[in-house]
């Protein structure tokens, strides 16, 4: 859903219209709250926020799986480093 100018609300106005704005958000109209003319916070449906968080976790898991697959490809290709080489490369000292 795209944000329109009607969805950009100054903080002072948001305080006076919170219930009305919350109802609009629950109907799918997310709001951008501004402070001193600049984007400050967003008002979104709690279910959508939960969905965004689940997507973020899923993305993290997919990234980890991709990294593991690349690592396994390196192992199969014989591209291995010893512990000493790893410590030297990444500067970790005991």
Q: pLDDT tens across 55-81, in order? A: 999 999 999 999 999 999 999 999 998
Q: CA dist 83 to 2, 78, 80, Å? A: 51, 15, 10
| Cβ proximity of 35 and 11 under 8 Å | yes
pLDDT confidence tier of residue 83, bands split at 50, 70 and 90: confident
Point out which residues pair with 33 in neighbouring strands: 9, 41
User: How much is the pLDDT for 70?
Assistant: 94
| Cβ proximity of 30 and 44 under 8 Å | yes
- Supply the DSSP symbol for 7: G
pLDDT above 80: residue 94: no
Phi/psi for 7 (5° steps) reads -95, 5
Q: How many residues does the chain have?
A: 94
Q: Which CATH number fits domain 5-44: 3.40.1620.10, 3.40.720.10, 3.40.630.30, 2.60.120.10?
A: 3.40.1620.10
User: How much is the pLDDT for 57?
Assistant: 96
| Cβ proximity of 54 and 61 under 8 Å | no
Q: Can you tell me the distance from the alpha carbon of 11 to that of 3, in angstroms, rounded to the nearest whole number?
A: 17
Q: pTM of this prediction?
A: 0.59
């Amino acid at each position: 859903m795209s944000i329109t100018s009607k969805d950009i609300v100054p903080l002072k106005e948001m305080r006076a219209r919170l219930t009305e704005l919350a109802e609009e958000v629950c109907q799918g109209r997310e709001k951008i709250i501004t402070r001193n003319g600049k984007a400050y916070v967003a008002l979104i449906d709690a279910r959508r926020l939960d969905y965004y968080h689940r997507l973020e976790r899923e993305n993290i898991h997919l990234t980890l799986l991709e990294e593991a697959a690349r690592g396994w490809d390196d192992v199969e290709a014989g591209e291995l480093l010893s512990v000493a080489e790893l410590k030297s490369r990444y500067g970790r000292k005991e």
